């Protein structure tokens, strides 16, 4: 997923469903979903990965989306997705987002991301 409010929202829909489609989604939820994509640790590791060139300022729409997500109980402090809450807060504080394409700029970055998913890695 991209490191932006929309990426978090999409992940949330896959894991918990959509409030708009609650009746239709029950059999489609994937509660054991693993997150694949960028995270705050990738963004903070600027010196090693040279992500500075791939960071994008948040738009007004991005900021509104992040605040809407943070208003949901799922993202409350100590809630089910406290880590996602922190990701959204950091995006808002730094006023940046990043798309997966920045991994193309860093040799081995995609491999490192994928390796983090495999058991025993």
Residues 6 or more apart whose CB falls under 8 angstroms from that of 49 comprise 42, 106, 109
The predicted model gives 87-108 an average pLDDT of 83
The predicted model gives 8-14 an average pLDDT of 88
The predicted model gives 40-54 an average pLDDT of 56
The predicted model gives 99-120 an average pLDDT of 65
Three-state SS across 19-59? HHHHHHHHHHCCCCCCCCCCCHHHHHCHHHHCHHHHEEECC
What pLDDT band is residue 25 in, cutting at 50, 70 and 90?
low
pLDDT 10s digits, 60-80 = 999 999 999 999 988 888 888
Which residue ranges make up each domain of the chain?
5-102
> pTM score, two decimals?
0.73
Is a pLDDT exceeding 70 seen at residue 15?
yes
């Amino acid at each position: 997923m991209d490191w932006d409010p929309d990426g978090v929202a999409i992940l949330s829909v896959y894991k918990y469903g959509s409030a708009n489609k609650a009746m239709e989604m029950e059999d489609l939820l994937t509660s054991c979903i693993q997150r694949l994509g960028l995270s705050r640790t990738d963004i903070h590791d600027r010196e090693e990965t040279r992500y500075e060139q791939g960071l994008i300022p948040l738009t007004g729409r991005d900021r509104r989306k992040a605040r809407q997500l943070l208003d949901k109980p799922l993202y409350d402090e100590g809630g089910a997705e406290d880590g996602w809450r922190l990701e959204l807060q950091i995006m808002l504080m730094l006023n940046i987002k990043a798309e997966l394409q920045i991994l193309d700029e860093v040799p081995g970055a995609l491999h490192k991301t994928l390796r983090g998913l495999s058991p025993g890695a």
